[in-house]
């Protein structure tokens, strides 16, 4: 049987692409893209205000931020507006590289996020950045859902060591604390004292909160460092599988009183950045754990 390759003997664009290019001029295409960005910005602001007004949605946002890792607060809000349960995202090229294919009927249901593009100079001389819309898909939209884990499994000891080992201040265990809590920061020295004998979840939560407090206090632009620290420590706990049932956000709305969408996004970005700073340090330590394990296996 002779193969027929006649259909390949052309490098012209597919018919639907030709039709699209014929329908839109360069100016019309630019206007279309501008409208798409404005619709996205509108949805982004609306989602930010919903997060600020609803404690349950606020917790849902923090949960999503913990799963999406280094996604910005803005892009986490955009994902939240389309798929609050998203777990793992990538564009079509990413999923093809993973030998995973998005279901045909899901291709029209992409999640739109913003990706930095070219820079430009504003009228006042400052430099701005154009943002392009990027289409991504969650693993739940794929034909094949079984993938290698994106994060290795670590022991409780390894997680706690990673949290503490690369911290920029001294951390010591003590048998008693004056306020009866699980950990405290000594104002005069910045040292973190941690109550000995606690179970892993309590120890991790206590240390994470003090580290987040220290990180938050360094930034004068943070409205309420303690609120930011509380939320960032929650994100860290969710990320590393530490129990979060004692966290309460019912009164979180007070933080966002009288804030517009821009201010809300700023506050959410601060939470994300504080959690990411500590998670980034942990990742380096956990990377060393992986490297040591690989070396041991190779022997």
User: Do residue 98 and residue 137 come from a single domain?
Assistant: yes
Domain count, the chain: 2
Q: How many helices (H) and strands (E) does the chain have?
A: 9, 6
Element (H or E) spanning 85, and its range? none
The pLDDT tens digits of the residues spanning 106-163 come to: 999 999 999 988 888 888 888 988 888 999 999 999 986 666 565 668 999 999 999 9
The alpha carbon dihedral of 45, 139, 279, 277 has a sign of: negative
The pLDDT tens digits of the residues spanning 194-211 come to: 999 999 999 999 999 999
Span 89-109, mean pLDDT?
A: 93
**Whole-structure pTM value:** 0.85
User: Do residue 187 and residue 119 come from a single domain?
Assistant: no
User: Do residue 121 and residue 51 come from a single domain?
Assistant: yes
pLDDT of 298 higher than 80: no
176 occurs within a structural domain: yes
Sheet holding 183-185, edge to edge: 171-174, 192-195, 183-185
pLDDT of 267 higher than 90: yes
**Residue 137: domain span:** 22-141
User: Do residue 249 and residue 281 come from a single domain?
Assistant: yes
User: Do residue 189 and residue 104 come from a single domain?
Assistant: no
7 occurs within a structural domain: no
Distance CA 264, CA 38 (A): 19
Domain end call among 141, 164, 188:
141
User: Do residue 193 and residue 285 come from a single domain?
Assistant: yes
User: Do residue 238 and residue 115 come from a single domain?
Assistant: no
Q: When comparing pLDDT for 290 and 108, which is higher?
A: 108
Please tell me the total number of residues recorded for the chain in this structure: 299
Distance CA 264, CA 242 (A): 27
User: Do residue 249 and residue 185 come from a single domain?
Assistant: yes
1 occurs within a structural domain: no
User: Do residue 181 and residue 129 come from a single domain?
Assistant: no
User: Do residue 221 and residue 264 come from a single domain?
Assistant: yes
Domain end call among 116, 141, 166:
141
151 occurs within a structural domain: no
Write the CB contacts of 6 (distance below 8 Å, at least 6 apart in sequence): none
146 occurs within a structural domain: no
Distance CA 248, CA 44 (A): 25
14 occurs within a structural domain: no
User: Do residue 62 and residue 119 come from a single domain?
Assistant: yes
Domain end call among 141, 172, 200:
141
User: Do residue 176 and residue 245 come from a single domain?
Assistant: yes
Q: Which long-range contacts (CB under 8 A, 24 or more apart) does 1-4 make?
A: none
What is the chain's mean pLDDT, rounded?
88
């Amino acid at each position: 049987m002779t193969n027929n390759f006649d259909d390949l003997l052309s490098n012209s664009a597919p018919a639907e692409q030709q039709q699209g290019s014929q329908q839109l001029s360069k100016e019309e295409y630019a206007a279309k893209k501008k409208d798409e960005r404005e619709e996205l910005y509108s949805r982004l602001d609306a989602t930010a205000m919903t997060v600020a007004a609803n404690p349950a949605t606020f917790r849902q946002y923090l949960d999503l931020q913990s799963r999406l890792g280094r996604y910005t607060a803005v892009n986490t809000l955009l994902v939240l507006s389309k798929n609050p349960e998203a777990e793992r995202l990538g564009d079509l090229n990413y999923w093809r590289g993973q030998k995973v294919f998005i279901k045909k009927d899901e291709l029209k249901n992409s999640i739109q996020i913003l990706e930095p593009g070219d820079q430009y100079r504003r009228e006042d001389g400052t430099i701005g950045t154009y943002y392009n819309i990027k289409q991504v898909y969650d693993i739940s939209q794929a034909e094949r859902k079984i993938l290698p884990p994106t994060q290795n499994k670590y022991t409780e000891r390894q997680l706690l060591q990673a949290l503490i080992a690369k911290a920029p201040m001294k951390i010591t265990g003590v048998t008693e604390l004056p306020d009866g809590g699980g950990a405290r920061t000594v104002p005069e020295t910045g040292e973190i004292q941690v109550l000995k004998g606690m179970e892993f979840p309590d120890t991790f939560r206590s240390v994470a909160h003090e580290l987040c407090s220290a990180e938050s206090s360094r930034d004068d632009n943070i409205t309420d460092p303690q609120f930011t620290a509380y939320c960032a420590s929650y994100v860290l706990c969710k990320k590393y599988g530490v129990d979060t049932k004692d966290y309460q956000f019912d009164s979180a709305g007070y933080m966002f009183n009288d804030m517009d969408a821009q201010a809300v996004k700023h506050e959410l970005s601060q939470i994300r950045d504080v959690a990411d700073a500590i998670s980034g340090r942990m990742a380096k330590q956990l990377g060393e754990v992986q490297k040591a394990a690989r070396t041991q296996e190779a022997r």
